[in-house]
Structure 1
Amino acid sequence: MGYSRYDPAMQGRPAWNAGRMVGTKRPLTQKQIWAVRFFLEREGRLRDRALFDLAIDSKLRGCDLVKVKIGDLVSGAEIRTRAIVIQQKTGRPVQFELTADVRSSLLAWLERRGGSIDDYVFPSRVNNLGHLSTRQYARLVDEWVTAIGLRREEYGTHSMRRTKASMIYKATGNLRAIQILLGHTKIENTVRYLGVDIEDALLLAERTEI
Protein backbone atom coordinates (compact mmCIF):
# COMPACT_ATOMS: atom_id res chain seq x y z
CA MET A 1 0.00 0.00 0.00
CA GLY A 2 1.35 3.44 -0.89
CA TYR A 3 1.20 6.73 0.95
CA SER A 4 -0.42 9.97 -0.12
CA ARG A 5 1.77 13.05 -0.27
CA TYR A 6 -1.09 14.80 1.51
CA ASP A 7 -0.86 12.44 4.49
CA PRO A 8 0.24 14.55 7.50
CA ALA A 9 2.31 11.62 8.76
CA MET A 10 4.40 11.82 5.62
CA GLN A 11 5.22 15.50 5.89
CA GLY A 12 8.95 16.05 6.20
CA ARG A 13 9.71 12.39 5.50
CA PRO A 14 12.41 11.99 2.82
CA ALA A 15 11.60 10.15 -0.39
CA TRP A 16 12.77 6.53 -0.57
CA ASN A 17 15.21 7.41 -3.34
CA ALA A 18 16.49 10.67 -1.86
CA GLY A 19 20.21 10.96 -2.54
CA ARG A 20 20.26 7.78 -4.60
CA MET A 21 20.92 7.37 -8.30
CA VAL A 22 18.06 5.31 -9.68
CA GLY A 23 17.61 3.84 -13.13
CA THR A 24 19.57 1.43 -15.26
CA LYS A 25 22.97 0.46 -13.89
CA ARG A 26 25.94 0.46 -16.21
CA PRO A 27 27.44 -2.80 -17.49
CA LEU A 28 31.15 -3.39 -16.97
CA THR A 29 33.66 -3.18 -19.79
CA GLN A 30 36.15 -5.96 -20.57
CA LYS A 31 38.91 -3.89 -18.94
CA GLN A 32 36.83 -3.40 -15.80
CA ILE A 33 36.03 -7.13 -15.59
CA TRP A 34 39.73 -7.96 -15.54
CA ALA A 35 40.40 -5.17 -13.03
CA VAL A 36 37.88 -6.72 -10.62
CA ARG A 37 39.36 -10.17 -11.18
CA PHE A 38 42.87 -8.85 -10.50
CA PHE A 39 41.69 -7.18 -7.29
CA LEU A 40 39.99 -10.35 -6.02
CA GLU A 41 43.00 -12.51 -6.96
CA ARG A 42 45.39 -10.13 -5.20
CA GLU A 43 43.24 -10.17 -2.07
CA GLY A 44 42.96 -13.97 -2.13
CA ARG A 45 39.15 -13.83 -2.18
CA LEU A 46 38.43 -17.19 -3.75
CA ARG A 47 34.70 -17.16 -3.02
CA ASP A 48 34.20 -13.64 -4.35
CA ARG A 49 36.14 -14.42 -7.53
CA ALA A 50 33.88 -17.43 -8.16
CA LEU A 51 30.77 -15.38 -7.35
CA PHE A 52 31.82 -12.55 -9.66
CA ASP A 53 32.69 -14.92 -12.51
CA LEU A 54 29.43 -16.84 -12.18
CA ALA A 55 27.44 -13.58 -12.06
CA ILE A 56 29.01 -12.40 -15.33
CA ASP A 57 28.68 -15.71 -17.22
CA SER A 58 25.23 -16.72 -15.95
CA LYS A 59 23.57 -13.32 -16.40
CA LEU A 60 21.24 -14.33 -13.55
CA ARG A 61 19.25 -12.00 -11.34
CA GLY A 62 20.73 -11.67 -7.87
CA CYS A 63 17.84 -13.63 -6.31
CA ASP A 64 18.61 -16.58 -8.59
CA LEU A 65 22.40 -16.31 -8.42
CA VAL A 66 22.60 -16.66 -4.63
CA LYS A 67 20.38 -19.76 -4.74
CA VAL A 68 22.46 -21.73 -7.23
CA LYS A 69 23.29 -25.15 -5.79
CA ILE A 70 26.42 -27.22 -6.29
CA GLY A 71 24.39 -29.81 -8.19
CA ASP A 72 23.38 -27.13 -10.72
CA LEU A 73 27.01 -26.62 -11.70
CA VAL A 74 28.73 -29.93 -11.13
CA SER A 75 28.70 -33.11 -13.20
CA GLY A 76 30.82 -35.79 -11.56
CA ALA A 77 34.14 -34.23 -10.63
CA GLU A 78 33.90 -31.45 -13.23
CA ILE A 79 32.10 -28.14 -13.65
CA ARG A 80 29.45 -28.25 -16.39
CA THR A 81 29.99 -26.25 -19.56
CA ARG A 82 26.27 -25.38 -19.49
CA ALA A 83 23.82 -25.13 -16.63
CA ILE A 84 20.09 -24.57 -16.18
CA VAL A 85 18.24 -22.92 -13.29
CA ILE A 86 14.58 -22.09 -12.70
CA GLN A 87 14.04 -18.36 -12.39
CA GLN A 88 12.30 -17.16 -9.27
CA LYS A 89 10.59 -14.26 -11.04
CA THR A 90 9.10 -16.17 -13.98
CA GLY A 91 9.19 -19.80 -12.85
CA ARG A 92 10.75 -20.63 -16.20
CA PRO A 93 14.14 -22.30 -16.84
CA VAL A 94 17.06 -20.34 -18.22
CA GLN A 95 20.25 -21.86 -19.57
CA PHE A 96 23.71 -20.33 -19.44
CA GLU A 97 27.24 -21.20 -20.50
CA LEU A 98 30.26 -21.53 -18.21
CA THR A 99 33.50 -20.56 -19.94
CA ALA A 100 36.88 -22.11 -19.13
CA ASP A 101 38.16 -19.35 -16.81
CA VAL A 102 34.88 -19.34 -14.91
CA ARG A 103 34.86 -23.12 -14.54
CA SER A 104 38.38 -22.88 -13.16
CA SER A 105 37.51 -20.31 -10.49
CA LEU A 106 34.34 -22.21 -9.54
CA LEU A 107 36.25 -25.46 -9.18
CA ALA A 108 38.89 -23.80 -6.99
CA TRP A 109 36.16 -22.39 -4.74
CA LEU A 110 34.15 -25.62 -4.53
CA GLU A 111 37.26 -27.63 -3.66
CA ARG A 112 37.75 -25.34 -0.68
CA ARG A 113 34.06 -25.04 0.13
CA GLY A 114 33.27 -28.78 0.10
CA GLY A 115 29.66 -29.86 0.57
CA SER A 116 27.15 -31.97 -1.34
CA ILE A 117 25.18 -31.39 -4.54
CA ASP A 118 22.20 -30.20 -2.47
CA ASP A 119 24.20 -27.41 -0.81
CA TYR A 120 24.27 -23.82 -2.02
CA VAL A 121 27.40 -22.79 -3.92
CA PHE A 122 27.65 -19.62 -1.82
CA PRO A 123 26.48 -20.38 1.73
CA SER A 124 25.45 -17.83 4.30
CA ARG A 125 28.11 -17.09 6.89
CA VAL A 126 25.38 -16.83 9.50
CA ASN A 127 23.64 -20.10 8.66
CA ASN A 128 25.69 -22.64 6.72
CA LEU A 129 22.50 -24.36 5.53
CA GLY A 130 21.23 -21.14 4.00
CA HIS A 131 22.54 -19.14 1.06
CA LEU A 132 24.28 -15.80 0.72
CA SER A 133 21.65 -13.06 0.94
CA THR A 134 20.88 -10.74 -1.96
CA ARG A 135 21.69 -7.81 0.33
CA GLN A 136 25.15 -9.19 1.04
CA TYR A 137 25.66 -9.84 -2.67
CA ALA A 138 24.78 -6.20 -3.37
CA ARG A 139 27.27 -5.07 -0.72
CA LEU A 140 29.98 -7.18 -2.34
CA VAL A 141 29.27 -5.68 -5.77
CA ASP A 142 29.58 -2.18 -4.24
CA GLU A 143 32.91 -3.21 -2.77
CA TRP A 144 34.23 -4.66 -6.03
CA VAL A 145 33.40 -1.68 -8.21
CA THR A 146 34.63 0.82 -5.62
CA ALA A 147 37.93 -1.08 -5.37
CA ILE A 148 38.67 -0.44 -9.05
CA GLY A 149 37.75 3.23 -8.90
CA LEU A 150 34.15 3.17 -10.13
CA ARG A 151 31.25 5.05 -8.54
CA ARG A 152 29.06 2.64 -6.63
CA GLU A 153 25.98 4.77 -7.45
CA GLU A 154 26.39 3.91 -11.13
CA TYR A 155 26.83 0.15 -10.73
CA GLY A 156 25.01 -2.66 -8.95
CA THR A 157 23.97 -6.29 -9.14
CA HIS A 158 22.17 -5.61 -12.42
CA SER A 159 25.51 -4.44 -13.83
CA MET A 160 26.71 -8.01 -13.39
CA ARG A 161 23.60 -9.33 -15.15
CA ARG A 162 23.80 -6.83 -18.01
CA THR A 163 27.54 -6.99 -18.72
CA LYS A 164 27.85 -10.05 -20.95
CA ALA A 165 24.40 -9.53 -22.46
CA SER A 166 25.41 -6.02 -23.53
CA MET A 167 28.66 -7.29 -25.03
CA ILE A 168 26.85 -9.98 -27.02
CA TYR A 169 24.26 -7.48 -28.23
CA LYS A 170 26.94 -5.01 -29.38
CA ALA A 171 28.76 -7.79 -31.21
CA THR A 172 25.72 -9.34 -32.89
CA GLY A 173 22.72 -7.01 -32.66
CA ASN A 174 20.64 -10.13 -31.99
CA LEU A 175 17.95 -9.11 -29.51
CA ARG A 176 16.16 -12.46 -29.69
CA ALA A 177 19.31 -14.27 -28.55
CA ILE A 178 19.72 -11.83 -25.65
CA GLN A 179 16.07 -12.33 -24.70
CA ILE A 180 16.67 -16.07 -24.41
CA LEU A 181 19.92 -15.66 -22.47
CA LEU A 182 18.33 -13.26 -19.97
CA GLY A 183 15.19 -15.37 -19.64
CA HIS A 184 12.85 -12.51 -20.53
CA THR A 185 9.31 -13.44 -21.50
CA LYS A 186 8.93 -10.46 -23.86
CA ILE A 187 11.36 -8.91 -26.33
CA GLU A 188 10.17 -5.48 -25.16
CA ASN A 189 11.64 -6.22 -21.73
CA THR A 190 14.99 -6.99 -23.32
CA VAL A 191 14.92 -3.75 -25.31
CA ARG A 192 14.27 -1.73 -22.15
CA TYR A 193 16.76 -3.70 -20.10
CA LEU A 194 19.62 -3.15 -22.53
CA GLY A 195 18.68 0.47 -23.02
CA VAL A 196 18.34 0.00 -26.77
CA ASP A 197 17.34 3.32 -28.30
CA ILE A 198 16.75 4.83 -31.73
CA GLU A 199 20.48 5.39 -32.27
CA ASP A 200 21.18 1.69 -31.74
CA ALA A 201 18.38 0.78 -34.13
CA LEU A 202 19.69 3.11 -36.83
CA LEU A 203 23.24 1.79 -36.52
CA LEU A 204 21.98 -1.76 -36.90
CA ALA A 205 19.92 -0.74 -39.93
CA GLU A 206 22.93 0.95 -41.54
CA ARG A 207 25.02 -2.22 -41.17
CA THR A 208 22.35 -4.35 -42.84
CA GLU A 209 22.61 -4.43 -46.61
CA ILE A 210 19.73 -5.77 -48.71
Structure 2
Amino acid sequence: MELGFSPAAGEALARWLDHLRALEGASEATVTAYRADVAGFLGFLHQHEGESLGLARLAEVGPREMRAWMAEARGRGLGARSLARALSSVKSFYRWLSAREGFDPTHVLAARAPKFTRKLPRPLSEEAARAVIEAVDTQAAEPWIAARDAAVVTLLYGCGLRISEALGLEGGAHPLPEVLRIRGKGGKERLVPVLPAARAAVAEYVGLCPYDLAPGEALFRGARGGALNPRQIARAMERARMGLGLPATATPHAMRHSFATHLLAAGGDLRAIQELLGHASLATTQVYTAVDAARLIDVYRAAHPRA
Protein backbone atom coordinates (compact mmCIF):
# COMPACT_ATOMS: atom_id res chain seq x y z
CA MET A 1 0.00 0.00 0.00
CA GLU A 2 2.62 2.48 1.05
CA LEU A 3 4.32 2.20 -2.34
CA GLY A 4 1.46 4.38 -3.65
CA PHE A 5 2.46 7.33 -1.51
CA SER A 6 3.97 10.36 -3.11
CA PRO A 7 7.18 11.36 -1.33
CA ALA A 8 5.42 14.44 0.01
CA ALA A 9 2.48 12.42 1.40
CA GLY A 10 4.85 9.91 2.98
CA GLU A 11 6.86 12.70 4.57
CA ALA A 12 3.68 14.37 5.83
CA LEU A 13 2.54 11.13 7.43
CA ALA A 14 5.92 10.69 9.12
CA ARG A 15 5.90 14.27 10.43
CA TRP A 16 2.38 13.88 11.78
CA LEU A 17 3.36 10.73 13.65
CA ASP A 18 6.39 12.53 15.08
CA HIS A 19 4.03 15.31 16.19
CA LEU A 20 1.83 12.77 17.97
CA ARG A 21 4.82 11.33 19.80
CA ALA A 22 6.55 14.56 20.73
CA LEU A 23 3.76 17.05 21.40
CA GLU A 24 0.77 14.90 22.25
CA GLY A 25 2.61 12.15 24.11
CA ALA A 26 1.01 9.34 22.11
CA SER A 27 2.22 5.85 22.97
CA GLU A 28 3.93 3.70 20.34
CA ALA A 29 0.87 1.44 20.23
CA THR A 30 -1.32 4.45 19.44
CA VAL A 31 1.13 5.75 16.83
CA THR A 32 1.24 2.32 15.18
CA ALA A 33 -2.55 2.17 15.00
CA TYR A 34 -2.80 5.70 13.56
CA ARG A 35 -0.11 4.94 11.02
CA ALA A 36 -1.88 1.80 9.82
CA ASP A 37 -5.21 3.64 9.51
CA VAL A 38 -3.87 6.59 7.54
CA ALA A 39 -1.54 4.43 5.45
CA GLY A 40 -4.52 2.28 4.49
CA PHE A 41 -6.49 5.38 3.50
CA LEU A 42 -3.64 6.79 1.40
CA GLY A 43 -3.09 3.40 -0.19
CA PHE A 44 -6.76 3.21 -1.12
CA LEU A 45 -6.65 6.66 -2.73
CA HIS A 46 -3.70 5.55 -4.82
CA GLN A 47 -5.58 2.47 -6.03
CA HIS A 48 -8.83 4.37 -6.51
CA GLU A 49 -7.29 7.23 -8.48
CA GLY A 50 -4.74 5.10 -10.30
CA GLU A 51 -1.92 7.45 -9.41
CA SER A 52 0.27 8.54 -6.54
CA LEU A 53 -1.37 11.57 -4.92
CA GLY A 54 0.61 14.59 -3.85
CA LEU A 55 -0.38 17.04 -1.13
CA ALA A 56 -2.28 19.28 -3.54
CA ARG A 57 -4.50 16.39 -4.61
CA LEU A 58 -4.96 15.20 -1.02
CA ALA A 59 -6.31 18.67 -0.23
CA GLU A 60 -9.02 18.14 -2.85
CA VAL A 61 -10.36 14.88 -1.43
CA GLY A 62 -14.11 15.20 -1.13
CA PRO A 63 -17.29 13.26 -0.27
CA ARG A 64 -16.99 10.98 -3.31
CA GLU A 65 -13.57 9.67 -2.27
CA MET A 66 -14.58 9.36 1.37
CA ARG A 67 -17.70 7.35 0.50
CA ALA A 68 -15.70 5.11 -1.82
CA TRP A 69 -13.06 4.45 0.84
CA MET A 70 -15.61 3.55 3.49
CA ALA A 71 -17.57 1.35 1.07
CA GLU A 72 -14.39 -0.52 0.10
CA ALA A 73 -13.46 -0.99 3.77
CA ARG A 74 -16.87 -2.41 4.63
CA GLY A 75 -16.66 -4.63 1.55
CA ARG A 76 -13.41 -6.08 2.94
CA GLY A 77 -15.30 -6.99 6.09
CA LEU A 78 -14.04 -4.15 8.29
CA GLY A 79 -16.44 -3.74 11.19
CA ALA A 80 -18.27 -0.51 11.95
CA ARG A 81 -16.24 0.08 15.11
CA SER A 82 -12.90 -0.41 13.32
CA LEU A 83 -13.97 1.83 10.45
CA ALA A 84 -15.03 4.53 12.91
CA ARG A 85 -11.57 4.37 14.49
CA ALA A 86 -9.87 4.56 11.08
CA LEU A 87 -12.00 7.55 10.10
CA SER A 88 -11.06 9.27 13.35
CA SER A 89 -7.37 8.72 12.52
CA VAL A 90 -7.80 10.13 9.01
CA LYS A 91 -9.63 13.18 10.36
CA SER A 92 -6.87 13.79 12.89
CA PHE A 93 -4.27 13.60 10.13
CA TYR A 94 -6.26 15.99 7.94
CA ARG A 95 -6.68 18.52 10.76
CA TRP A 96 -2.92 18.61 11.18
CA LEU A 97 -2.19 18.62 7.44
CA SER A 98 -4.70 21.35 6.62
CA ALA A 99 -3.27 23.59 9.33
CA ARG A 100 0.19 23.18 7.80
CA GLU A 101 -0.79 23.40 4.15
CA GLY A 102 -3.58 25.98 4.45
CA PHE A 103 -6.53 24.18 2.88
CA ASP A 104 -10.10 23.56 4.02
CA PRO A 105 -10.55 19.98 5.34
CA THR A 106 -14.34 20.27 5.76
CA HIS A 107 -15.22 17.49 3.29
CA VAL A 108 -13.05 14.99 5.15
CA LEU A 109 -14.04 16.17 8.63
CA ALA A 110 -17.73 16.05 7.70
CA ALA A 111 -17.60 12.35 6.76
CA ARG A 112 -19.77 10.36 9.14
CA ALA A 113 -18.77 7.02 10.56
CA PRO A 114 -21.22 4.13 10.44
CA LYS A 115 -23.30 3.73 13.56
CA PHE A 116 -22.41 0.93 15.91
CA THR A 117 -23.61 -0.20 19.28
CA ARG A 118 -21.03 0.64 21.91
CA LYS A 119 -20.28 -2.35 24.07
CA LEU A 120 -20.95 -1.66 27.71
CA PRO A 121 -18.28 -2.57 30.26
CA ARG A 122 -19.05 -5.75 32.19
CA PRO A 123 -18.29 -4.97 35.84
CA LEU A 124 -18.54 -7.45 38.69
CA SER A 125 -20.88 -7.00 41.63
CA GLU A 126 -19.30 -5.70 44.83
CA GLU A 127 -19.58 -9.17 46.35
CA ALA A 128 -17.96 -10.81 43.33
CA ALA A 129 -15.11 -8.29 43.25
CA ARG A 130 -14.31 -8.99 46.90
CA ALA A 131 -14.60 -12.73 46.31
CA VAL A 132 -12.13 -12.52 43.41
CA ILE A 133 -9.54 -10.76 45.58
CA GLU A 134 -9.97 -13.35 48.33
CA ALA A 135 -9.69 -16.22 45.84
CA VAL A 136 -6.57 -14.79 44.21
CA ASP A 137 -5.01 -14.37 47.65
CA THR A 138 -5.25 -18.10 48.41
CA GLN A 139 -4.74 -19.99 45.16
CA ALA A 140 -0.97 -19.68 44.52
CA ALA A 141 1.30 -22.31 46.08
CA GLU A 142 3.90 -19.76 47.24
CA PRO A 143 2.62 -17.22 49.78
CA TRP A 144 4.53 -14.29 48.27
CA ILE A 145 3.05 -14.94 44.82
CA ALA A 146 -0.45 -15.18 46.28
CA ALA A 147 0.14 -11.89 48.11
CA ARG A 148 1.53 -10.33 44.91
CA ASP A 149 -1.50 -11.31 42.83
CA ALA A 150 -3.90 -10.08 45.52
CA ALA A 151 -2.02 -6.76 45.76
CA VAL A 152 -2.22 -6.16 42.00
CA VAL A 153 -5.93 -7.05 41.79
CA THR A 154 -6.65 -4.88 44.82
CA LEU A 155 -5.00 -1.92 43.08
CA LEU A 156 -7.11 -2.50 39.97
CA TYR A 157 -10.33 -2.51 41.98
CA GLY A 158 -9.43 -0.18 44.82
CA CYS A 159 -7.74 2.51 42.73
CA GLY A 160 -9.17 1.94 39.25
CA LEU A 161 -5.73 1.41 37.73
CA ARG A 162 -5.10 -0.14 34.36
CA ILE A 163 -3.06 -3.34 34.57
CA SER A 164 -0.17 -1.58 32.80
CA GLU A 165 -0.28 1.22 35.38
CA ALA A 166 -0.24 -1.17 38.33
CA LEU A 167 2.63 -3.19 36.89
CA GLY A 168 4.44 0.02 35.99
CA LEU A 169 4.88 0.92 39.67
CA GLU A 170 8.48 0.85 40.87
CA GLY A 171 10.05 -0.25 44.13
CA GLY A 172 10.33 3.36 45.24
CA ALA A 173 6.52 3.59 45.34
CA HIS A 174 6.46 1.49 48.52
CA PRO A 175 5.17 2.21 51.08
CA LEU A 176 2.26 3.52 49.03
CA PRO A 177 1.27 7.09 49.90
CA GLU A 178 -2.30 8.15 50.54
CA VAL A 179 -2.36 9.68 47.04
CA LEU A 180 -0.52 8.02 44.18
CA ARG A 181 0.72 9.90 41.10
CA ILE A 182 0.00 7.74 38.05
CA ARG A 183 1.25 8.31 34.51
CA GLY A 184 -1.39 6.89 32.20
CA LYS A 185 -2.10 6.81 28.49
CA GLY A 186 -0.36 9.47 26.45
CA GLY A 187 1.87 10.33 29.40
CA LYS A 188 -1.04 12.04 31.15
CA GLU A 189 -0.58 12.23 34.92
CA ARG A 190 -3.33 11.95 37.50
CA LEU A 191 -3.61 11.69 41.27
CA VAL A 192 -5.36 8.62 42.66
CA PRO A 193 -6.32 8.16 46.32
CA VAL A 194 -5.06 4.86 47.75
CA LEU A 195 -7.38 2.98 50.07
CA PRO A 196 -5.90 1.52 53.28
CA ALA A 197 -6.77 -1.97 51.98
CA ALA A 198 -4.62 -1.39 48.90
CA ARG A 199 -1.69 -0.07 50.95
CA ALA A 200 -1.98 -3.06 53.29
CA ALA A 201 -2.10 -5.54 50.40
CA VAL A 202 1.02 -4.08 48.80
CA ALA A 203 2.80 -3.96 52.18
CA GLU A 204 2.04 -7.64 52.75
CA TYR A 205 3.44 -8.53 49.33
CA VAL A 206 6.60 -6.47 49.87
CA GLY A 207 7.17 -8.14 53.25
CA LEU A 208 7.02 -11.60 51.64
CA CYS A 209 8.75 -10.91 48.31
CA PRO A 210 12.18 -12.60 48.15
CA TYR A 211 13.63 -9.99 45.78
CA ASP A 212 15.17 -6.58 46.42
CA LEU A 213 12.56 -4.05 45.31
CA ALA A 214 14.91 -1.15 44.69
CA PRO A 215 13.77 2.27 43.47
CA GLY A 216 13.78 2.43 39.67
CA GLU A 217 13.03 -1.29 39.36
CA ALA A 218 9.67 -3.04 39.04
CA LEU A 219 7.67 -3.29 42.24
CA PHE A 220 5.84 -6.43 41.13
CA ARG A 221 8.08 -9.36 40.21
CA GLY A 222 7.65 -12.64 38.40
CA ALA A 223 8.70 -15.96 39.92
CA ARG A 224 12.27 -15.55 38.58
CA GLY A 225 12.65 -11.96 39.70
CA GLY A 226 11.93 -10.10 36.47
CA ALA A 227 9.13 -7.60 35.98
CA LEU A 228 5.76 -9.28 36.32
CA ASN A 229 4.05 -10.13 33.04
CA PRO A 230 0.39 -9.03 32.89
CA ARG A 231 -0.49 -12.47 31.57
CA GLN A 232 0.26 -13.89 35.03
CA ILE A 233 -2.44 -11.69 36.57
CA ALA A 234 -4.84 -12.64 33.79
CA ARG A 235 -4.23 -16.31 34.61
CA ALA A 236 -4.76 -15.71 38.31
CA MET A 237 -8.07 -14.00 37.51
CA GLU A 238 -8.97 -16.86 35.19
CA ARG A 239 -8.49 -19.43 37.95
CA ALA A 240 -10.43 -17.30 40.41
CA ARG A 241 -13.41 -16.77 38.14
CA MET A 242 -13.58 -20.44 37.25
CA GLY A 243 -13.55 -21.37 40.92
CA LEU A 244 -16.25 -18.82 41.68
CA GLY A 245 -18.39 -19.60 38.64
CA LEU A 246 -18.04 -16.09 37.19
CA PRO A 247 -18.32 -15.32 33.45
CA ALA A 248 -15.34 -14.99 31.10
CA THR A 249 -15.78 -11.20 31.25
CA ALA A 250 -14.33 -11.27 34.80
CA THR A 251 -10.88 -10.13 33.63
CA PRO A 252 -8.32 -7.81 35.24
CA HIS A 253 -9.80 -4.89 33.30
CA ALA A 254 -13.25 -5.76 34.67
CA MET A 255 -11.91 -4.85 38.12
CA ARG A 256 -11.26 -1.30 36.84
CA HIS A 257 -14.76 -1.24 35.34
CA SER A 258 -16.12 -2.39 38.70
CA PHE A 259 -14.26 0.42 40.49
CA ALA A 260 -15.95 3.04 38.27
CA THR A 261 -19.41 1.46 38.32
CA HIS A 262 -19.48 1.01 42.08
CA LEU A 263 -18.28 4.59 42.65
CA LEU A 264 -21.04 5.89 40.40
CA ALA A 265 -23.66 3.74 42.12
CA ALA A 266 -22.54 5.17 45.47
CA GLY A 267 -23.17 8.70 44.23
CA GLY A 268 -19.74 9.53 42.82
CA ASP A 269 -19.46 12.61 40.59
CA LEU A 270 -18.92 11.74 36.92
CA ARG A 271 -16.21 14.38 36.48
CA ALA A 272 -14.34 13.10 39.52
CA ILE A 273 -14.55 9.53 38.23
CA GLN A 274 -13.22 10.75 34.88
CA GLU A 275 -10.18 12.20 36.66
CA LEU A 276 -9.64 9.06 38.73
CA LEU A 277 -9.74 6.84 35.63
CA GLY A 278 -7.57 9.16 33.56
CA HIS A 279 -10.06 9.43 30.70
CA ALA A 280 -9.26 12.25 28.28
CA SER A 281 -12.94 12.67 27.38
CA LEU A 282 -15.97 12.71 29.65
CA ALA A 283 -17.82 10.79 26.92
CA THR A 284 -15.62 7.78 27.67
CA THR A 285 -16.60 7.91 31.33
CA GLN A 286 -20.29 8.45 30.59
CA VAL A 287 -20.58 4.86 29.40
CA TYR A 288 -20.72 3.92 33.08
CA THR A 289 -23.99 5.81 33.45
CA ALA A 290 -25.46 3.39 30.90
CA VAL A 291 -24.06 0.46 32.89
CA ASP A 292 -25.63 1.75 36.09
CA ALA A 293 -28.96 2.37 34.33
CA ALA A 294 -28.91 -1.15 32.90
CA ARG A 295 -28.24 -2.55 36.39
CA LEU A 296 -31.18 -0.60 37.83
CA ILE A 297 -33.47 -1.87 35.08
CA ASP A 298 -32.42 -5.44 35.84
CA VAL A 299 -33.15 -4.92 39.54
CA TYR A 300 -36.53 -3.38 38.69
CA ARG A 301 -37.50 -6.25 36.41
CA ALA A 302 -36.47 -8.81 38.99
CA ALA A 303 -38.26 -7.11 41.89
CA HIS A 304 -41.35 -5.46 40.42
CA PRO A 305 -44.44 -7.68 40.72
CA ARG A 306 -45.76 -6.65 37.31
CA ALA A 307 -42.45 -6.56 35.44
Task: Tell me which interval the TM-score lies in, with the shorter structure as reference length.
Answer: 0.7 to 0.9
The residue number in structure 1 matching 2:163 is 62
| TM-fit CA distance, 1:86 | 0.8
Between the two proteins, the alignment pairs up a number of residues equal to 179
Greater CA drift, 95-104 or 182-191: 95-104
User: Does structure 1 residue 109 correspond to structure 2 residue 210?
Assistant: no
The residue number in structure 2 matching 1:143 is 239
Equivalences for residues 127-206 of structure 1 within 5 A? 128-129=225-226, 131-152=227-248, 154-172=249-267, 174-192=269-287, 194=288, 196=290, 199=293
| TM-fit CA distance, 1:5 | 8.6
User: Does structure 1 residue 40 correspond to structure 2 residue 136?
Assistant: yes
| TM-fit CA distance, 1:177 | 0.9
Q: Which runs of 5+ in 1 are unaligned?
A: 11-21, 204-210
Separation of aligned partners in 2, 1:172 and 1:198: 11
The residue number in structure 2 matching 1:123 is 221
Question: Given the superposition, is the C-alpha separation of residues 94 and 143 from structure 1 closer, same or farther in structure 2, using an over 3 Å criterion?
Answer: farther
TM-score (structure 1 length as normaliser): 0.72
Separation of aligned partners in 2, 1:135 and 1:42: 18
Q: Report which structure shows greater RCO (CA 8 Å, sep ≥6).
A: 1
Separation of aligned partners in 1, 2:218 and 2:292: 42
Verify the 8 A CA contact 1:57 1:96 in the aligned structure 2: no
Which residue type is aligned with residue 181 of structure 2?
I
> Aligned with 2:237: secondary structure?
helix
Question: Given the superposition, is the C-alpha separation of residues 136 and 197 from structure 1 closer, same or farther in structure 2, using an over 3 Å criterion?
Answer: closer
Question: Given the superposition, is the C-alpha separation of residues 173 and 41 from structure 1 closer, same or farther in structure 2, using an over 3 Å criterion?
Answer: closer
User: Does structure 1 residue 51 correspond to structure 2 residue 146?
Assistant: no
TM-score (structure 2 length as normaliser): 0.51
Question: What are the superposed Cα offsets for residues 86-108 of structure 1, whole Å, 9 maximum, x if unpaired?
Answer: 11x22111221221222111101
Verify the 8 A CA contact 1:123 1:132 in the aligned structure 2: yes
The residue number in structure 2 matching 1:81 is 178
> What is the aligned-residue RMSD (CA, Å)?
2.9
Separation of aligned partners in 2, 1:184 and 1:146: 31
The residue number in structure 1 matching 2:58 is none
| TM-fit CA distance, 1:183 | 0.6
> Aligned with 1:196: secondary structure?
helix
Question: Given the superposition, is the C-alpha separation of residues 4 and 134 from structure 1 closer, same or farther in structure 2, using an over 3 Å criterion?
Answer: farther
Verify the 8 A CA contact 1:25 1:155 in the aligned structure 2: no
> Aligned with 2:190: secondary structure?
strand
Question: What are the superposed Cα offsets for residues 105-140 of structure 1, whole Å, 9 maximum, x if unpaired?
Answer: 1101011224212221212345x34x2223333233
> Aligned with 1:172: secondary structure?
coil
Percent identical: 23
